Amino acid sequence: MELLNKTLNQVMRQLSEKKTNFLGNGPEQWLKKALTKKELGHIRVKYFQKGVLSINVDSSTWLYVLSLKKEDLLAQLKKENPELKSISFRIGEIKESV
């Protein structure tokens, strides 16, 4: 069952990586420009769909910290992709599946 879960996660990640804007930059690249390395170590992009960027955060502490920065982060990311409407933070798994 775990192998199936890892395989599905990998397929979903590959599909989401293909969904990039016309410049070839995906949400991961936008976030690298807007967040520090420390912050990036605590998040993982779940999906970018219909203008909503969903981000998994590894703890409630980082959920709170990033929620405080949400409006500024949204403004920065809209410069990279004007289609972005909102950001959704959720506590979830951020480890890369192998």
Alpha helices by DSSP H, the chain? 2-18, 27-34, 37-40, 60-68, 70-80
CA distance 41 to 44: 8
Look up the domain containing 61 and give its range.
Answer: 2-91
Q: Can you give the pTM of this predicted structure?
A: 0.69
- In the chain, the percentage of residues whose pLDDT exceeds 70 is 86
Look over the chain and give the mean of its residue pLDDT values, rounded to a whole number. Answer: 85
Number of domain units in the chain: 1
Indicate whether 56 belongs to any domain. Answer: yes
| 5-39 per-position pLDDT tens digit | 888 888 777 766 555 444 457 889 989 999 999 99
- Where residue 37 sits, what CATH number does that domain have? 3.30.70
Buried b (16+ CB within 10 A) or exposed e, 6-32: eeeeeeebeebeeeebeeeebbeebbe
Q: 37, 28 in Cβ contact below 8 A?
A: no
Which SS3 state, helix, strand or coil, does residue 92 take?
coil
